[in-house]
């Protein structure tokens, strides 16, 4: 499937069901992935979580309903799936910069957030060689930072370099790791640098037993690693039927090369 056509079907579905609870599993089936993978693709291509996109669309439409349709605040809150008028008013104020009650009094300064429509003519075909490995549980030691989808391209290399210089006594860094806990609820995640050797002053990270897709990158250049990651989510995932597990992604640095590891379900 053309991923951009599939994503247009997803945003169309959201528009048609914007007043309902959105079933992420239904959205994932549109592009033939699981919910986790679909949300990861959406975030990568839009720099926005799916939850944040839906929230902004609802708040954008809510302003129209309050002003043009004269719908009551409590009814508008219920229409767009807010638990209470208070939570709706708080979100509305944060997004538009004014309270819903001010709209009723004639305030007309709103923020618009339009439906995302992708260019379906954009065709990209990427040949990616990979292997599948099964690794037993293993333990790593290191430190991490908070970052997000946009800043990680600068944050990760800078943090890697800082850690390598500060802890040169421990030798070269073995792994980089992206942790997506709450990735689709909050727009932040973590980037870690890790050593295989036990280091008391570092935090211990247990990597669960799993099967992994492994993509070999012939160097340790951050730009090349980022390119492979983007190619993987934008092209490989939608052309293959592997479902990604909700575990960290790993970058294994060794012998001047990088192995990009993505955990998959059995």
Q: What is the 3-state secondary structure (H, E, C) of 60-114?
A: HHHHHHHHCCCCCHHHHHHHCCCCCHHHHHHHHHHHHCCCHHHHHCCCCCCCCCC
Summarised one tens digit per residue, pLDDT across range 134-158 is 999 999 999 999 988 778 889 999 9
Residue 198: predicted pLDDT: 95
Residue 33: predicted pLDDT: 86
- The region, left, alpha or beta by phi > 0 then psi within -120 to 50, assigned to residue 256 is left
Residue 218: predicted pLDDT: 94
Residues of the chain with pLDDT under 50: none
Q: Which domains does the chain have, with CATH numbers?
A: 3-104 (1.10.10.60), 131-264 (3.20.80.10)
Residue 103: predicted pLDDT: 84
Residue 47: predicted pLDDT: 80
Summarised one tens digit per residue, pLDDT across range 14-37 is 999 999 999 999 999 998 888 888
Residue 235: predicted pLDDT: 75
The pTM of this model reads: 0.68
């Amino acid at each position: 499937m053309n991923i951009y056509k599939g994503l247009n079907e997803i945003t169309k579905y959201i528009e048609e069901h914007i007043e309902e609870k959105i079933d992420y599993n239904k959205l994932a089936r549109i592009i033939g992935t699981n919910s986790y993978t679909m949300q990861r693709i959406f975030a990568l291509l839009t720099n926005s979580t799916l939850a944040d996109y839906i929230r902004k669309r609802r708040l954008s439409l809510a302003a129209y309903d309050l002003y043009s349709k004269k719908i009551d605040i409590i009814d508008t809150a219920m229409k767009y799936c807010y638990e209470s008028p208070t939570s709706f008013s708080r979100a509305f104020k944060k997004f538009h910069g004014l309270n819903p009650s001010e709209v009723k009094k004639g305030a007309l300064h709103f923020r618009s957030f339009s439906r995302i429509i992708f260019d379906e003519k954009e065709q990209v075909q990427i040949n990616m060689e990979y292997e599948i490995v099964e690794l037993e549980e293993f333990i790593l030691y290191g430190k991490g930072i908070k970052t997000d989808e946009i800043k990680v391209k600068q944050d990760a290399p800078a943090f890697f370099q800082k850690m390598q210089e500060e802890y040169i006594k421990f030798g070269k860094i073995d792994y980089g790791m992206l942790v997506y806990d709450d990735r689709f609820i909050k727009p932040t995640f973590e980037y870690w640098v890790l050593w295989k050797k036990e280091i008391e002053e570092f935090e211990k990270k247990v990597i669960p037993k799993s099967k992994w897709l492994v993509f070999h990158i012939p160097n340790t250049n951050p730009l090349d690693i980022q390119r492979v990651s983007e190619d993987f989510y934008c092209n490989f995932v939608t052309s293959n039927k592997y479902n990604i597990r909700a575990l960290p992604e790993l970058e294994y640095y060794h012998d001047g090369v990088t192995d990009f590891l993505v955990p998959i379900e059995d």
